[in-house]
Chains A and B, each alone.
Chain A
């Protein structure tokens, strides 16, 4: 069955530390891949997307993600987290329609 999995429900990192949020998908073919961020009381904002080509994708706010076909993964990374990065992060997969992972809530410790 087609699915998107974000294994981590909640992650806490210290400000200035590096961050990696995991995303795995299960589809017959390589779908479109997205990462969105949602701050409290707000809608979703697109951080980055992957359709094809270079497997390392740069996004806004200093985020990047790497597509690994062999692992069916599209993990989001940031080298140094800022307090303003605290939010919920969603991995999404587009094939016939858009499907979202359950989300990972990021807490940033001062």
Chain B
């Protein structure tokens, strides 16, 4: 079974631009969660989608948004990019929503904001 895939793997943007990251979960998984990883703040939960509905949201500004499609693929969008948005963005999928379900992580998208 193929693992979680994230595209693109690397991205360079400038301040003020917007960006869309994509995540394809493991086949059969219906929950997708997004995390931001930075040297300063560590790993932080962004949001979780299950069956096209946002189930949970972390403490991030409204510039960070996401959605999930009927095939469980998910996209994350960041508008009006700031230098501090430079990070590794990780996507994780699981069979169902809820912390008791094991999450499988993708390799991440490395976003650099100049």
Contact = CB atoms under 8 A, between A and B. Distances in A.
Given A43-B108, A44-B90, A44-B105, A98 B100 contact: no
Interface residues of B, number: 21
B89 to A, nearest CB: 11
Given A46-B102, A46-B103, A49-B102, A98 B90 contact: no
A46 B106 CA distance: 12
A97 B45 contact: yes
Contacts of B35: 98
A74 to B, nearest CB: 15
Interface in A66-110: 90, 92, 94-103
Nearest to B108: A43
A94 B45 CA distance: 11
B99 interface: yes
B56 A97 contact: yes
Contacts of B104: 46
Chain A at the B interface: SS class: strand
Nearest to B103: A46
A28 interface: no
A82 to B, nearest CB: 22
A27 interface: no
A14 interface: no
Contacts of B107: 41-43
Interface in B11-59: 33, 35, 42-45, 48, 56, 58
